[in-house]
Amino acid sequence: MNTRTLGNGLEVSPLGLGCMGMTGVYGAATDKAQMIKLIHDAHDRGVTFFDTAEAYGPFTNEELVGEALQPIRDQVVIATKFGFDIDLETGARRGGTDSRPERIKAVAEAALKRLKTDRIDLFYQHRVDRAVPIEDVAGAVKDLIAEGKVKHFGLSEAGVQTIRRAHAVQPVTAVQSEYSLFWRGPEADLLPALEELGIGFVPFSPLGAGFLTGRITQDTTFEDGDFRNLVPRFSPDARKANLALVDVIKGVADRKGATTAQVALAWLLARKPWIVPIPGTTKLHRLEENLGAASLELTASDLAEIDAETSKIEVQGERLPEAVLKMTGH
């Protein structure tokens, strides 16, 4: 695969690998040895960008990613995140956010150990902490960069003004937020601001938490522990209405000899050259399918058709549970 450049010259593969689901979230955690092999398989196929977080597990996802990538550490870019109130000893979630500078530095030290590395390539604030000025957050990461423990600063689910304030203290390399044909909220204000500031964009849930693959129907049941059971847009009625979106993508996919997932990812890649989606999977054949999007070219006519047809569809249901939406602020 070719490469793409996020902010501040950070070069990565055009598609990264979101590792969150390897230790739960979409149901039970998957076998560790299989996931280590899948991470190696991804790298063998050209993926150099791997996404994890302190909160995934907590801790177990970073440990998995660290163990998997240790043999090829200098060939990859590892992104992880801080910002939730988690007991650093036990991993117990205490609820809410915590981005106090001393906390950020303690999380970095702990993450370095779990990731079996001497530096974090991209360190995101996972959620904005309204109790801590973003300038203080950016200053703490700036200190870590000066010490060589962190290479790049990122923000997740942050608004434009927050991004501008942070960027003035420590240049932001990437912003991570949800973005797909299932959720196009970033287009109004966020993407123009990122282009202006020279910041890369890393869409998570680029396949709408699996919905845009076309393999989820009105009748699909999610196993216990799958967070989609709590998401309004995954209620049976919402799914029934939202399948119209999948039909549009499938029409283009059939014509291109591709899958709906590949078209959905190729659509994102076509938006801007500094967009790097991070689809997650626990299956090799899905990984290979997703990576096929990097070589799928959508013409101007294809893109116009997708925009015209999807603009007629109003997606039903909020993208996150109400309590989580309040935390993100948008």
Task: Give me the active site residues, please.
Answer: 56
Q: Are 127 and 83 in contact (CB under 8 A)?
A: yes
DSSP string, 148-214: TSEEEEEEES--HHHHHHHHHHS-EEEEEEE-BTTB-GGGTTHHHHHHHHT-EEEEESTTTTTGGGT
- Between CA 220 and CA 235 the distance in angstroms is 10
- Between CA 174 and CA 91 the distance in angstroms is 27
Of 282, 208, 278, 227, give the one whose Cα is nearest residue 29.
282
Please report the sign of the dihedral spanned by the C-alpha atoms of residue 190, residue 194, residue 197, residue 199. positive
Strand blocks (E) in the chain: 4-5, 11-12, 17-18, 49-51, 77-82, 84-86, 93-97, 120-125, 150-156, 172-178, 200-204
Query: Whose structure tokens read 């996404």?
Result: 51
Q: Are 78 and 121 in contact (CB under 8 A)?
A: yes
Q: Are 106 and 118 in contact (CB under 8 A)?
A: no
Cα diameter, the chain = 54
The two structure tokens encoding residue 186? 């970033």
C-alpha distances (whole Å) from 62 to each of 36, 59, 248 are 12, 6, 37
The three-class DSSP label of residue 109 is helix
